[in-house]
Structure 1
Amino acid sequence: MAESLLVAAAESLIGKLASAAVQQASLVVGVHRDLQRMKDTMDLVKAFLLDADQKKPHSNALRVWLRQIKRVFSDADNIVDDFECEALRRHLVNTHGSFSRKVSRFISTSNPLMFRLRMAHEIKDINERLTKVAADGHMFGLQMIHNDTRAMHVREMTHSHVNPSNIVGREHDKQNIIKLLVQDGHDQCLSVIPIVGMGGLGKTTLAKLVFNDANIDQCFTLKMWACLSNDFELRNVLIKILNSLNPAYEEFKNYEIEQLQNRLRNILQRQKFLLVLDDVWNENIGKWNELKEIIDVGAEGSKVLVTTRSHSTAAIMHTKPFNSYPLERLSEEESFSLFVKLAFEEGEVKKYPQLLEIGKEIVKKCRGTPLAVKTLGSSLFSRVDRIEWESIRDNEIWNLPQNENDILPALEISYDRLPSYLKPCFASFSLFEEDDKISSFMCVNMWEALGFLPPLKEKETIVDVANHFLHDLLSRSFLMDFIDFGDRYYEFKLHDLVRDVAIYVAKGEFQTIYSTSSTIYEHVQHVRFMKNNLLGQALVPTSLKTLIFPNNATNEVFLNDVVSRCKYLRYLDLSYSEYESLPHYIGKLKHLRHLSVAHNEKLKELPNSICGLQNLKTFNFRGCTKLQELPKGIRKLINIRQLSITTKQTYLPKNTIGNMISLEKLKFTSCENFESLFEGVQLSRLRTLEIDDCGNLKSLSSHVVTKLEYLGILNCGKLDMSLGLGNKIPDLCLNSVDFQNLSQLVTLPQWLQGCMNTLHSLRIYDCENLEELPEWLSTGICLKLLDIYNCPKLLSLPENMHHLTTLEHLEVENCPELFKRYLPGVGQEWQKISHIKKVVIKS
C-alpha cells in the first residue's frame, strides 16, 4: 500500500524541479536540459501512477514496477535536494554580503567542478531509469490520467468538546447510562459500569456525551477521564488519572507508586467522584483489583464508567447490580441520517435524489458502524458526481473476505479518496503510538522536513499550509478529540482503527521497531525505535530520511554509524537521550531540516560543525541543562525557522540570533543566568516567543512583543511584567498568551490591553498573588478560551463578563472564591458566565 504514496512523491519532485532556485542552479551547473527531461518524464510516470493508484495493483509484475519507481524517485529526490542545497548556498552568498561569504566558506563542501561532474553522471542515470519505467507503464494497461480529481474540502472547525448535535442515534443510550450513574449504588462505595462493543461503534463518543452532561455535573463533585488503550500498568494508570485532575504532568512522572497512590487517595477521600476509564483492554483481574483497592475511598455513589471492546474485560470489572452496557450498531435509518448530515451541505440534500438512493446502498455496507459511516460520508462532502458515488458503492474492497466486525474496508476507501498530497501526511501518523496526543507543531516540523508540503503561495506560511491539511483530514473524520488552543496550535488523537489504516498504507515506507525480532524493511525511509536496547540490532538503510530515537538512548556506536552512513537524513530526533556529546560528522548531514536533542540532560556541548547545516529549519536543544554555551557559529544558521534554547550563558551576544532572518518561533528554557533579553536585537519575522524557567531574567525589551502572535512567560519570578512600558498601550496582534507561576503578577499588565481586538486565548496558571482581572478584559472581541488555575487570591471575574460573547470555554480550578461565586447553576454570580458554551469550575 505504500505505493499509494508515489503520486505525492512525483508531485513533490515535479514541484521542486520547476522551482526557480533549482532552475537557476541547474543553469549554473550546466545540467538544465537534463533536469527538464527528468521533469517531463516524471510527468508521464505520474499520469500512469494516478491510474494505478485508483485501480489498485493486483499483479506481482505491477507491484515490482511500482517498487522500481519508488527507488528511482527516492534517488531522484536526493539529487534534486543536492541542487536545492547548492541553490541555497548561492542565494546566501549573493544576498547577504561578506557575512554570507563567510557562511559559504564554512558550509561549502563541494569542489564546483567535481560537483558538476557528479551531478551530470547521477542525473543521466536517473533519466535512463525513469525512461525505462515510463515505457513499461503501457505494459499493464494503465491509462494516463493528468489530473487528480480528489480535491481538498474543509468543513467548519469543530469545538474541542463533543458536540451533541453532531451525534446521531445515541440519545437513548446516553440517558440509560446517566440513569445508571446517578442511581444509588446499593451500599457499595464504588460501582463500575462497562460500555462494551466493537471498535468504531462510538463508545468513547457516548462516554463523552455522558461526561459533559449537566446532570452528571450536579451529581458528582469530582470528574476524571483517563484513556488507557493497551497500558494498564498501575503506575501509568495512576499518573493518567492524576493528570486529568491536574494538567501539570511533569509533577507526577518522577513519583514512585507509593507517592502516586497516596496523592490520589487523598484527593478522592470522601469525594463522590466519576472516573471514566476509556479504551480498556486489561483482562488480568489482579491488575484491576490492585487499582480498585486504591481508588475505592470515595463517598457512596462514586462510579467508574469503562469503555472496552473486550467482553472479558467487562466481566472482570463490572459490579452488581450493574451489568455491562452493550452498545449496539446504529439502525439503517440512524446510519443514513448520520451519512446525510456529513455528505451534504445543509439544505442541499433534496436536490440530489439519485445520490440519496446510492447513499442508502453505501450505508448498508457500513453495517451500522458510526466510524465507517462518518469517514465515507465526510469523503463525499460537496461531491455530486453520480459516477463517483457509484464507484464507492461498487468498490471491490467490499468483496474481500472480512470479519463480521471489520470496518477497515470503509476506512480504506476513505483513505483512497484522499488527494495524493494528503496521503504521505496521513501515513506519517503510523509513527505515533496509540492514544498519543499529536500536536500540529509536530506535524508542521515533520511534514516540512520531509518535503510533504507544497511550495508556498504569496503571504502563505508553512504553518498555514500544514494546518489547512489537518483541517481537511479532520473534515474527513480521520482525526478526533481535536482541540484548538489558539495561535494556530492544535492537538488531536487518532481512533485506533484509523491508526491501523495508517500503519497498513505506510508499510514499507514508515516503520516502528518494537522488538529485536523486527526486520527492518530494505527500502524503508522513516523509522522510529521504541526501546533503547533495539539500537544496533539491525543495519538501517542508508536511504533513511527519518530517524526517531527512543527515550534514554545511550548507544553511541549506533549513533555514530547512523550519522556517518545515512547522509540523506531530513528528520533526526534524539529527544530525551543520554548522550554527552554528538558526533562531529553530524555537520555533514546537509539535507537535515529538523534536529532535536531536547531534554538530553547529559549533553555538555554541541559540535561547531552543526553550524554548517544550512538547510536546518528546526533546531531544538531545550532542556539540555548541562549545556555550557551555544556553538560560536550558530549565527550562521540563517535559514532556521524554529529555535529552542537552554544554556548556562549569562547573555546572548547581539549577533547570535539577530542574524537569523527566517526565525519565526523562539523558546528559552532554563536559561537561569540571563538577566535581559533582546536589547538591540530585531527579529522581523518572529511570531512565537516562550520564556520558561529563566529565574533571574529581569527585563524583556518591549519591541519584540509588538509583532508576536503567541507569548508565553512561565516561571520567571523576577521579570518586570510592565516591559518598561508603564501605562502605555501599544498596538499588538497577540492571539494567545500564557502566564504561569509569576508571583509578581497582581493584575494583568496594562500593555495586554493592546491586543483586545485579536486575543483568542488567555491562560493564567499558578499566579499566587493575582488579585484581579481588569475590567478591560471584558472588551476582548475575539476571546474564545480563558483558563485560570491555582490563583487563590483572585476573588472575582470582571463585572462585564457577559460582554464576552465569543467566549466558548472557561475553565477555573483551585481558585476557592471563584468556585463559590461561579459554580454552575448555584453560584451567586453564575449568571455572568451562563452564556458561555463550556464552563468547568473545579475546587
Structure 2
Amino acid sequence: MAELVATMVVGPLLSIVKEKASSYLLDQYKVMKGMEEQHEILMRKLPAILDIITDAEQAAAHREGAAAWLQAVKKVAYEANEVFDEFKYEALRREAKRKGHYKELGFDVVKLFPTHNRFVFHNRMGRKLCKIVQAIEVLVTEMNAFGFKYQQQPPVSSQLRRTDHAIADPEEIKEIINESRANDKTEIVSRLVVQGNNESLTVIPIVGMGGLGKTTFAQVIYNVPEIQKHFDLLLWVCVSDNFDVDSLATRIVEAAPEKKDDGTKETAPKKKDDGTKETAPKKKKTPLDKLQDLVSGQRYLLVLDDVWNKEVYKWKQLKARLQHGGMGSVVLATTRDGGVADIMRTVEAYNLTALKDQYIKEIIETTAFSHFKKEEERSAELVNMVDKIVGRCSGSPLAATALGSMLSTKTSKEEWETVLSRSSICTEENGILPILKLSYNDLSSRMKQCFAFCAIFPKDHKIDVDKLIQLWIAHDLIQEKQVRLETIGKQIFNELASRSFFQDVEQVQATVKELEDSWSCYSRTTCKIHDLMHDVALSVMGKECVLATDEQGKIESVVATEETIPNTARHLFLSRKEPERKLNSSLENSSPAIQTLLCDGHTESSLQHLAKCSSLQAFQLCS
C-alpha cells in the first residue's frame, strides 16, 4: 500500500475569500465601482468551486493532477484574499473620512498605499481583480474536466459532537504505557545508578521507532524519586533538528534551576605605572564556558531528547565540556536513528521495543469506547474487531491512541471496516506516519486547517492555547455566527487534543519575568505537538511556514534551508536570538506575502521592511 498523503485543505481558505468578497462595505462605499462584472463572475465561480472542493481534496490524496490543481487554487485564493483585504481597507478609509475620523486616525499623515486617488485606485485594483477572475475561470474549466462531485458537509458545530466526558483521559493512557514499560524502567534506573562510581561521562542512547513513546519513557525515568535523589542536577533539553553547539549549550544552561553566574569572569588585575592596580575588563564567557561552569563538580543527569545529529565533531565539542561533570554523570539521549546512537554512546544503547499486543489493545479500547461508561454497553461486533486494529499499530502507543480516537467517532461495523481498509500496518520504513495521516484526513476541513496552521511552531515548542485560538480567529479559520468564536475554538482544540494531535496539555503558572516582560496572566493552558504529528502538519503546509533558527544569520525553512525567506512563505516564526536582524536582512532581498509573524521573545531594535508584508494579519510575541 502506498504511503498515505495528508489531505491538502483549501476549502476554508476559499470560504474566507467568498466572505470578504460579499462584504456589505464594498457596496456601501462603492470601492468596486466599474468592476461590477468581474465581481459578479467571481461571486458565481467561487461557490461552484466550493461545492466540489471536498471531493477534490479527497482525490488529491491519490491523483497527482488533482493535487496540482488544488495547489493552484490555494495560490489564487491567497492572492484573492490579499486583493479583498485592500478593497476592505479602502472601504474603511472612506468610512472613516465620511464619519469625520480621518484626522484622528492619522490618515492625513500616514498613507499605507502610494495614493488615495480614486482613479489610480480603480485602475490598479481593476488590473488585480481581472487577473484573479481570469485565473479562477481557468481553474473552473479544469475542475469540470476532472469531474469532481458535490459532497454536502455538516456545519462546524455538529462536527464537534464530543463532550468532555466522552474523551479518553490522557492520564489513563499514560498509566497503561507506564505499566507496559515497568521492566524497561527498572533496567534503565539500575543502569543510571550503577554509574555512580564511574569517573568518566556515561552516555546511554534510547533507540526506537517514532511513536514508541521514547520521550514519555525518558520523562518517567527523569521523575523517578530514586533518580531525583541520586543526581545533584537534572537537565532536560529537546534537540530535534537543530544541533547548533552554542545554541544547545545555552539551552542546557537555561534548563538549570539556577544560574551560577552572570556570564563574565575577571582576568588578573594589571598594575599601573604608579604601582596601583588597574581593574581589568570583564571577559564575556562563551555558551560552552557557561555550560562547563554549570556541570563542573556536579553529578548530573542530562536528557537530550530527539537527537538527529550525525556530525561527529559537533557532538565531540559538546561532550568535551560535559565531561567536566562530577563522578557518575550521565547523558540520556533519545533517538530514532541507530547511527546517531553509535556516535554518541559510551555504553551499549538501549533499544526500546514495541508494546505488547495486550497493552495496545487496552489503549484502543480505552479510546475507541470512551463514550461508553460500562463495558456491557459496547457493541459486540466492534469489540470483536479490536484485534484487527491492534495488528495495524505494530506496538506503537501513538498509533493506537490515534486510531482509537478516530474510531470513537464511528458507531457502525461498516465505518470500522472502512478505517481498516484504509489503514496500513506500521513498518520500519514508513513508521506510523500513514496512520497519523489517516487520522488527520478523518478530520473536518475546518479542523484540518486549524491543525495544519500549527506547522508554524518549531518542534517541541510550548504553545499557549488561548493565543493559538486567537491566531485561528485572526485568520478567519473559525467562522460561526451563532456561537462565540472563542467557544468554537476551544471545542476544536479539545477535539484535536482528544485525537492526539496535541499532547502535554497543562495549566502552567507564569514566571515573575513573564509577568514583568509581557503582562502575562498568572496561569495559562499550554500544549505541545508530537514531532510526528508536526511532520503531518508540515506535509500539508509545505513551504508556507518558515522558521528563523537560532543559528546566527540564517533563515531556515522548515522543509529546506534558505538564505532568504522564500516568496511562498505565509507564516513566519522568529527565534529568540536577534529575530529582528534575521527578518530585516532577509526581507531586504525578498517580498513574501507574510500573513503571520510570531516572535519567540522581545525585539531589541525595529523591524524594517514590514511594509512589504501588506497582508500581515497576526503579529505576536510568544514568550
TM-score, scaled relative to structure 2: 0.75
- Give the Cα separation in 2 of the matches to 1:68 and 1:192: 49
1:410 matched residue in structure 2: 435
Deviation at 1:147?
Answer: 0.4
Contact 1:210–1:216 (CA under 8 A) maintained in structure 2: yes
> What residue number does 2:73 align with?
69
List runs of 5+ in structure 1 lacking aligned partners.
515-519, 521-525, 596-617, 621-643, 645-689, 691-843
For the 8 Å contact 1:553–1:578, the answer to whether it is kept is no
Which residue of the partner structure matches residue 238 of structure 2?
227
Identity of aligned residues (%): 26
Q: Which residue in the other structure is 2:145 paired with?
A: 139
The equivalent position to 1:178 in structure 2, one of 159, 179, 189, is: 189
> What are the superposed Cα offsets for residues 324-351 of structure 1, whole Å, 9 maximum, x if unpaired?
3321111222112111222222526542
8 Å contact 1:155–1:472 — kept in the other structure?
no
2:536 to 496, 501, 512: 501
Structure 2 unmatched runs, 5+: 265-283, 510-520, 550-554
Secondary structure, counterpart of 2:219 in structure 1: helix
Distance in 2 between residues matched to 1:69 and 1:249, nearest whole Å: 55
Counterpart Cα distance in 1 of 2:145 and 2:104: 52
Query: In the alignment, which of 254, 260, 263 is matched to residue 290 of structure 2?
Result: 260
What amino acid is aligned across from residue 252 of structure 2 in structure 1? I
Q: How far apart, CA to CA, are the structure 1 residues paired with 2:409 and 2:68?
A: 37
Offset at 1:430?
A: 3.5
Inter-partner Cα distance in structure 1 for 2:304 and 2:105: 60
C-alpha change, 1:530 and 1:447, in structure 2 (3 Å) is farther
Residue number in structure 2 paired with 1:741: none
Tell me the CA shift for residue 19 of structure 1. Answer: 4.7
Indicate if the aligned counterparts of 2:32 and 2:122 stay in contact, CA closer than 8 A: no
SS of the residue 1:103 aligns to? coil
- Where do residues 444-843 of structure 1 align in structure 2 (5 Å cutoff)? 447=472, 450-454=475-479, 460-461=485-486, 468-485=491-508, 487=521, 489-507=524-542, 509-510=544-545, 534-535=563-564, 541=567, 545-546=570-571, 551=579, 553=581, 559-560=587-588, 562=590, 569-572=594-597, 582=608, 586-587=610-611, 590-594=614-618
Greater shift, 106-115 or 494-503, is seen at 106-115
Query: In 2, Cα distance between the equivalents of 1:337 and 1:234?
Result: 42
The Cα offsets for residues 497-516 of structure 1, whole Å up to 9 and x where unpaired, read as 222222222225446699xx
Q: Secondary structure at the match of 1:198?
A: coil
Structure 1 residues 148, 136: CA separation in 2 closer, same or farther (over 3 Å shift)? Answer: farther
Determine the C-alpha separation between the residues in 2 that align with 1:134 and 1:125: 14
Deviation of the 1:393 alpha carbon: 1.3
Q: Distance in 2 between matches of 1:78 and 1:316?
A: 49
Structure 1 counterpart SS, 2:206: strand
CA distance in 1, matches of 2:492, 2:262: 34
SS of residue matched to 1:226? strand
CA distance in 2, matches of 1:455, 1:88: 23
Q: 1:459 to 1:509 in 2, by over 3 A?
A: closer
Counterpart for residue 217 of structure 1: 228
Aligned to 2:352: 327
1:206 deviation in Å? 0.8
Cα displacement string for residues 64-118 of structure 1 (whole angstroms, at most 9, x for unaligned residues): 4334423432332223222322343345446674655753774474333554565
* Separation of aligned partners in 2, 1:184 and 1:555: 46
Partners in 2 of 1:7 and 1:223 — Cα distance?
A: 47
Higher helix share: 2
Structure with more contact order per residue of length (Cα contacts < 8 Å, sep ≥ 6): 2
Residue 423 of structure 1 is matched in structure 2 by 448
TM-score in terms of structure 1 length: 0.57
- C-alpha separation between the residues in 2 aligned to 1:117 and 1:290? 61
Partner of 1:723: none
Name the residue aligned to 2:275.
none
Partner of 1:241: 252
Answer whether contact 2:292 2:322 (CA < 8 A) is retained: no
Structure 1 residues 560 and 40: alpha-carbon distance in aligned structure 2, compared to 1, 3 A threshold: same
Of 41, 45, 67, 1:41 maps to: 45
Q: Which moved more, 1:208-217 or 1:226-235?
A: 226-235
Give 1:559's aligned amino acid: L
Which residue in the other structure is 1:7 paired with?
A: 11
What is the rounded CA distance, in whole Å, between the counterparts of 2:68 and 2:300 in structure 1?
Answer: 59
What SS is found at the alignment partner of 2:332?
A: strand
Alignment match, 1:344: 369
Deviations 1:662-697 (A, max 9, x none): xxxxxxxxxxxxxxxxxxxxxxxxxxxx9xxxxxxx
CA-CA distance at 1:405 after TM superposition? 5.5
Q: CA deviation at 1:411?
A: 1.2
Aligned amino acid, residue 111 of structure 1: N
Instruction: After TM superposition, list the pairs within 5 Å mapping 1:32-431 onto structure 2.
Output: 35=39, 38-93=42-97, 97=101, 99-100=103-104, 103=107, 106-107=110-111, 109-116=115-122, 123=129, 126-127=132-133, 129-131=135-137, 133-134=139-140, 136-147=142-153, 151-152=159-160, 153=162, 164-165=174-175, 167=177, 169-183=180-194, 185=196, 191-246=202-257, 255-257=285-287, 259-266=289-296, 269=297, 271-282=298-309, 291-292=318-319, 294-296=321-323, 302-315=329-342, 317-318=344-345, 323-345=348-370, 346-347=372-373, 350-395=377-422, 398=424, 403-404=428-429, 406-431=431-456
CA distance in 2, matches of 1:527, 1:262: 32
Q: Distance in 2 between matches of 1:159 and 1:127?
A: 49
Worse-matched range after superposition: 249-258 or 127-136: 249-258
Q: Distance in 1 between matches of 2:409 and 2:531?
A: 27
Aligned 8 A contact 2:15 2:50 in 1: yes
Alignment check: 8 A CA contact 1:227 1:277 kept: yes
Contact 2:211 2:399 in 1 (8 A): yes
Distance 1:249 1:351, change over 3 A: farther
Decide whether the 8 Å contact of 1:199 with 1:497 is kept in 2: yes
Query: Structure 1 CA distance, aligned partners of 2:400 and 2:234?
Result: 31
Instruction: Supply the AA of the counterpart residue of 1:329.
Output: A
- Which residue matches 2:270? none
Which one-letter code corresponds to 1:194 in the other structure? P
Give the AA of the match of 2:431. D
One-letter amino acid matched to 2:424: W
Q: State the aligned residue count.
A: 570
TM superposition shift of 1:307: 2.0
Following the alignment from structure 1 to structure 2, what is the Cα–Cα distance between the partners of residues 178 and 556?
49
Look up the equivalent residue of 2:530 and give its one-letter code.
H
RMSD: 4.5
Is contact 1:274-1:302 (8 Å) kept?
yes
**Aligned residues of 2:173 and 2:363 also touching (Cα < 8 A):** no
Instruction: Please tell me whether the aligned partners of residues 158 and 482 of structure 1 are also in contact (alpha carbons under 8 angstroms).
Output: no
Q: Equivalents in 2 of 1:176, 1:110: separation in Å?
A: 73
Specify the SS of the correspondent of 2:303. strand
1:743 maps to which residue? none
Contact kept? 2:545, 2:570, Cα under 8 Å:
no
The CA distance in 2 between the partners of 1:544 and 1:299, in whole Å, is: 47
- What is aligned with 1:658? none
State whether residues 295 and 326 of structure 2, in contact with CA within 8 Å, keep that contact through their aligned partners in structure 1.
no
1:195–1:307 CA contact under 8 A, matched in 2: yes
Change (3 A) 1:98 1:114: closer
Deviations 1:28-54 (A, max 9, x none): 847678646534532231221201222
Measure, in 1, the Cα distance between the counterparts of 2:248 and 2:583.
30
Measured in 1, the distance between the counterparts of 2:306 and 2:205 equals 10
The CA deviation at 1:200 is 1.2
Cα deviation for residue 211 of structure 1 reads 1.7
**Per the alignment, in what secondary structure is the counterpart of residue 274 of structure 1?**
strand
d(CA) in 2 for partners of 1:407, 1:242: 34
Do the aligned partners of residues 552 and 256 (structure 1) sit closer, same or farther apart at CA in structure 2, a change above 3 Å counting? farther
Q: Is the 8 A contact 1:318 1:324 kept in 2?
A: yes
Q: Relative to 1, partners in 2 of residues 1:119 and 1:191: Cα closer, same or farther, differing over 3 Å?
A: closer
